[in-house]
Amino acid sequence: MKGRDIIRYPLIYICWILTAGFSLLVVLRMYGTLNLVWPTLGGDPFVLRGVGRFFPLIAGLAWLSYVVVTEWYYRSSISEEKEEESAAEEAGAAKSQGLLRKLGIRLLPQRFLIALSIPLALFVLEYIVRSLTLRSLRS
């Protein structure tokens, strides 16, 4: 393990934990929004009970698969950085002086934003649906 790897892996797993935590928060909020929206739309309470039992299972499996894929996505950035470093060393190219390139995590901020965009979009959608539902209840 190189000295850069001591910095790379903890940063990648910190990003992964933040992504997993935020996406879990979104899943839990979506479950609460489902319980709020269903009766407001006049849905059958017996159907809601069935949906309420299966939603956590389905959402949990989707969340778990998302977390596994994002972990792979973050770790693959290290492999790509290492390949670029070895290709640059073989070609004798001058090394860039950027801080992220020196640490070997040039791809991490980009991948963090891409991975976070999915739960962030779901969060915005959930927020809009919840706000519209609460607004209709007040009027």
pLDDT single digits (tens) 49-103: 888 889 999 999 999 999 999 999 998 888 887 777 767 667 665 555 665 666 6
- Give the domain extent around 59: 3-138
- pTM for the full predicted model: 0.80
- Name the least confident of 18-22, 29-33, 75-79, 88-92: 88-92
Task: Count CB atoms within 10 A of the CB of residue 138.
Answer: 6
Q: How many domains does the chain have?
A: 1
CA distances from 125 to 89, 106, 120, 130, 139 (A): 46, 31, 9, 9, 22
